[in-house]
């Protein structure tokens, strides 16, 4: 810790990650920065030894690590919201408990860019996918550059996992309800931040995403039923986002929703009816 100002809060959500959580925390603690940061960990009542492991880190780094120890399992979204509410840094970085950062300069690079580019709301980077037997490079961009909104929509907001993102905490003020209630993981947050400014991506590989781990997001979409369920929920979310932005992205969403025109307009009509009903309840 180099200064009195808290520059970054690192958000870690964890549940049954005893095999991975040490590597996650170590990757954060090994960051070389010229600014202050803390680590806020939400432990969602794991049934393994995850809690015991993070308690040991808390003893070693009492001034860096803050812990939320839930008395019962509250689920990923509620855990994320609880941890976000405890983040006080100017910027927020995310690294879930089964992923890890591999570059000790990651935070410094991303924070320097945000400091120097106030029009930017979100910074991300390329990663490696750990699929168990090997690591696969996921080169998001070939050169450091801004991403277009179309690229983000084409990728369904999953152009890169949340372990790579750093964003401005001020954008969490007055969050629209759909950001926290849409049942499609962190996708709504990325879409929302996209509306608040530019999204920049580093070509550097600075972290590792554990794909298909038992509690990972990617593992929840492996079979056809899970993929179909996700597609339905995602398309309802798209229409909510579309209406929020006053249909600024309607043509783009229509083209890249992977739905036939008939199905697209079906989701659009039904979603609007649901939104009207929810507003009047």
> Is pLDDT of 73 > 60?
yes
SS3 148: coil
Q: Report which secondary-structure segment, H or E, holds 245.
A: none
Question: Which residue carries 């940061």 as its tokens?
Answer: 37
Q: Which residue has the higher pLDDT, 217 or 151?
A: 151
Q: What is the pLDDT of residue 185?
A: 80
- pLDDT, average across residues 113-120: 98
> Is pLDDT of 280 > 60?
no
Q: Is 3.90.550.10 the CATH number for 6-218?
A: yes
CA neighbor of 106 nearest in space, from 85, 88, 91, 86: 91
The tally of CA atoms less than 13 A away on the side-chain side of residue 157 is: 21
Would you give the end-to-end CA distance of the chain in angstroms? 49
In the 3-class helix/strand/coil scheme, how is 26-91 assigned residue by residue?
HHHHCCCCCCEEEEEEEECCCCCCHHHHHHHHHHHCCCCEEEEECCCCCCHHHHHHHHHHHCCCCE
Q: Report which secondary-structure segment, H or E, holds 213.
A: none
Q: How distant, in Å, are the alpha carbons of 14, 35, 183 from that of 119?
A: 32, 21, 29
> Is pLDDT of 268 > 80?
no
Task: Give 171-229 pLDDT, tens digit per residue.
Answer: 999 899 989 888 778 889 999 999 999 999 999 999 999 986 655 544 544 566 676 77
Domain with CATH 3.90.550.10 in the chain: 6-218
Q: Report which secondary-structure segment, H or E, holds 200.
A: strand 198-210
């Amino acid at each position: 810790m180099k200064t009195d100002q808290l520059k970054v809060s690192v958000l870690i959500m964890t549940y049954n990650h005893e095999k991975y959580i040490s590597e996650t925390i170590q990757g954060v603690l090994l960051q070389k920065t010229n600014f202050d940061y803390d680590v806020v960990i939400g432990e969602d009542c794991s049934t393994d030894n995850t809690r015991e492991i993070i308690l040991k880190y808390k003893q070693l780094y009492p001034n860096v690590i803050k812990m939320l120890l839930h008395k019962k399992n509250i689920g990923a979204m509620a855990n994320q919201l609880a941890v976000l509410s405890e983040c006080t840094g100017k910027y927020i970085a995310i690294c879930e408990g089964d992923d890890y950062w591999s570059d000790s300069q990651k935070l410094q690079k991303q924070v320097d860019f945000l400091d120097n580019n106030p029009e930017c709301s979100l910074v991300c980077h390329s990663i490696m996918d750990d699929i168990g037997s090997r690591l696969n490079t996921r080169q998001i961009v070939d050169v450091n550059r801004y991403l277009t909104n179309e690229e983000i929509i084409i990728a369904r907001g999953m152009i890169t996992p949340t372990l790579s993102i750093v964003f401005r905490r001020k954008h969490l003020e007055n969050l629209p309800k759909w950001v926290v209630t849409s049942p499609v993981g962190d996708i709504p947050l990325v879409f929302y931040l996209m509306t608040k400014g530019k999204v920049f991506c580093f070509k550097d590989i600075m972290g590792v995403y554990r794909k298909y781990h038992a509690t990972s997001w990617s593992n929840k979409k492996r079979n056809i039923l899970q993929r179909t369920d996700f597609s339905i929920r995602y398309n309802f979310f798209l229409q909510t986002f579309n209406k929020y932005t006053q249909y600024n992205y309607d043509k783009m969403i229509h083209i890249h929703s992977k739905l036939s025109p008939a199905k697209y307009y079906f989701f659009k009509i039904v979603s609007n009816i649901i939104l009207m009903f929810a507003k009047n309840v």
